[in-house]
Structure 1
Amino acid sequence: MPVTGENKVIDTILNRRSVREFTDRPISKEEINTILNAGRWAPSGLNNQPWRFAVVRNPETIQKLSECTHYSGIVAGAALLIAAFLDTEHSYNRTKDIQAIGASIQNMLLACCGLSLGAVWLGEILNQHEKVNSILGCSSKLELMAVLAIGEPAPGKRTSTRKALPELVFEEKYGQKWEE
């Protein structure tokens, strides 16, 4: 149920969709910095900012990374990849740090939407984390959390559905139904 014009933040959250097909337009350095800044301003426990990001624009590197996932077409078709890592040397609580990186990734996805760019959060590539780290020359202290494939969206309509709130929410005690 998209909201229109009432609140830009809520509009962006409700209208963001995963984009898996892109044009070949390159992403500018200014756009990349906007996306990365959105990611770094996510909340983190003790403000430890446990995330590290790898920016990948080289077509050869993108191709190599595309071979690390079943979603190779999505990765190969993106103009930009951002790999998000947990810096294990700066971690103080694994659960909280992973949650913080999730918030950081969501901030970047919302920034992409706000810039009229498309993006998708890829997790299946985690199965090949060692190969990804090797391709990117990363230290073993960096633990891969996700890769974002980013680009100008190819034309097409994107839709999604969500469960109704009463299916997801209970009031105070499990079993007490939530009324919208």
Structure 2
Amino acid sequence: METIEAIRTRRSVRGFTDESISDEIIEQVLDAGRWAPSGLNNQAWRFIVVKDPETKIALSKLTEYGPTIKNAQVLIVVFLDKDHMYNYTKDVQSIGACIQNMLLAIQSLELGAVWLGEILKNKDMVNKVLDAPEPYELMAVVALGHPARKERISDRKALSHLVFREKFGLHW
């Protein structure tokens, strides 16, 4: 799949089949994430891969998106390793790029995923459930699997509403 096509066709998928995902596919997704840019190439992202149903149930109780967490074949829990930070804002931005790389890889592999951020309100409890190291700060959970077949459509604002020339107010 071409990059631009993957960008334009990627959608948040919250419903999954029970078809499993191989460790090789998970590794491809994680590998795409690690190639994101980061300040000083510090790569301060860390991942915990969750497949165990009991762990997914425990995590599902920490978010309004519990059914998505429980039904995903795999969860990639994404953290900032504060012991390897360069600059907090830049590192958080690079983790966003890392997650987007993974989402695009997932799309190109014809799988589905959703970037869950609402669970951040319970980040300390997530760390406890996962026994995450102390310096790991939760950034997101990526739930992925084979999408339940359902057409997903989305639209975007026109560029003329988002882009301005050097002088604010002059539309593109």
Give the alignment's TM-score, normalised by structure 2. Answer: 0.98
1:13-162 equivalent positions in 2, closer than 5 A:
13-162=7-156
SS in 2 for 1:84: strand
Residue correspondences, number:
172
How many angstroms does 1:104 deviate by?
0.1
Which AA in structure 2 matches 1:121?
W
Q: Which runs of 5+ in 2 are unaligned?
A: none
Which AA in structure 1 matches 2:85?
S
Q: Deviations over 1:88-143 (max 9, x none)?
A: 00001001000000000000000100111100000000001011000100122000
In the alignment, the residues of structure 2 paired with residue 117 and residue 155 of structure 1 have an alpha-carbon distance, to the nearest angstrom, of 11
In the alignment, the residues of structure 1 paired with residue 112 and residue 97 of structure 2 have an alpha-carbon distance, to the nearest angstrom, of 18
How many angstroms does 1:86 deviate by?
0.3
Q: CA RMSD in A?
A: 0.8
In the alignment, the residues of structure 2 paired with residue 163 and residue 76 of structure 1 have an alpha-carbon distance, to the nearest angstrom, of 33
2:169 is matched with which residue?
175
Q: Which runs of 5+ in 1 are unaligned?
A: 1-6
SS in 2 for 1:55: strand
How many angstroms does 1:172 deviate by?
1.2
In the alignment, the residues of structure 2 paired with residue 68 and residue 117 of structure 1 have an alpha-carbon distance, to the nearest angstrom, of 25
